[in-house]
Amino acid sequence: MVSRNVFLAVLMVVMLFSAMPVLASSGEPAPAAAVAASSPTATAQAVALTDEAPKSTMPWWAWPLILFIVTFILGIMAVLGGVGGGVLYVPIIGGFFPFNLDFVRGAGLMVALAGALAAGPGLLKRNLASLRLALPVALIASSSAIVGAMIGLALPQNVIQIALGGTILGIVAIMLMAGKSDFPNVKADKLSQSLGIMGIYREESIGKDVEWNVHKTLPGLLMFIIIGIMAGMFGLGAGWANVPVLNLMMGAPLKVSVATSKFLLSITDTSAAWIYMNNGAVLPMMVAPSIIGIMLGSIVGVKILAKAKPKAIKYMVIALLLFAGLRALLKGLGIWK
């Protein structure tokens, strides 16, 4: 697992350095002849933009370095707090960094996707992630995520900020109030039987095989329409919503719900990410250090988890999300700029 993550990190470093010449050249001013050849209106607009947006005095590599350090810390906190990296990434980077929110959401999807792709094969190999449960859900959620991404890119930034702030505050409420059920005892409904959504896995904590099935299949699948739209619109990933629906609503065991949710992200986030890539909202300068930081932070977080007090960390993550959610909400309303 570690070697796979290290390989991914090296690959992303190569991508970062390959993008450097293009990104460095993009900051050079336009030649005077090109400006003179343009129309008077275009010239006036260019002058106005130059006046309104002064150049940063920081070197081009400073922001990627800061982004790497921040995402490394977020990767540690995500593991200790039991949340996905995308849930922390989008509100915090979008609220406190001078990046356009479209680019932040595109990078957030890539961050969530990288974590899901790294964990997916192992979860399937251990028979924790269920393909029978994931595929019908993925079909609905990935289609909805495409619609959500298109809506998110079409809406004004202030509307997205307000909706993002409200969603983050909703996630905080879910984290505070949602319960869990390790081994729900439910009776399979007709739809789940028709789709063959059932299975068996080895539960090491009790030393025996656990058979499981689900109920309320239709309401659960309909819920994933909303979850998919929100995942694509905000670039958060959707683990925060997948697990409660799979576990508390549909009755899948907690470990199966968590593992299937992680695998599900590799399908759902891929669909939404293509929309952001097609619209030019995925920047290697942001994505590369973010993925490297989150992945390396996650490795460190797993090692700290054995000694840390997860409950205290969880409440610290909740406080951080509460602050970031309020920041996004007030920023969208124009109160806190």
**pLDDT the model gives residue 179:** 65
Q: What residue spans of the chain are helical by DSSP H? A: 2-26, 32-37, 40-52, 62-81, 85-96, 101-125, 131-154, 157-177, 190-195, 217-234, 239-244, 254-278, 284-305, 310-332
Write the pLDDT tens digit of every residue in 179-217: 667 778 888 899 999 999 998 888 777 788 888 999 999
Q: Report the alpha-carbon distance of residue 150 to residue 134 in Å, rounded.
A: 24
- Are the C-beta atoms of residues 107 and 93 closer than 8 Å to each other? yes
pLDDT at 32 over 90: no
Helix (H, G, I), strand (E, B) or coil at 281: coil
**pLDDT the model gives residue 54:** 52
Q: Report the alpha-carbon distance of residue 168 to residue 96 in Å, rounded.
A: 15
Q: Report the alpha-carbon distance of residue 197 to residue 175 in Å, rounded.
A: 27
Q: Which two tokens stand for residue 83?
A: 């949340």
Query: How much of the chain exceeds pLDDT 70, in percent?
Result: 79
Q: Which two tokens stand for residue 318?
A: 């909740």
CA angle 177, 181, 186 (to 5 degrees): 125
Of the candidate ranges 15-24, 100-109, 135-144, 169-178, the one whose mean pLDDT is the lowest: 15-24
CA-based end-to-end distance of the chain: 42
**pLDDT the model gives residue 334:** 83
Band (pLDDT 50/70/90 cuts) for residue 310 is low
- Who wins on pLDDT, 63 or 37? 63
Among 40, 32, 84, smallest CA distance to 301 is for: 84
Tell the residue number behind the tokens 């739809």, with chain if given: 191
Write the pLDDT tens digit of every residue in 233-282: 988 777 778 888 888 889 888 888 888 888 888 888 888 999 999 999 99
**pLDDT the model gives residue 4:** 52
Q: What are phi and psi of 309, to 5 degrees?
A: -100, 100
pLDDT at 27 over 80: no
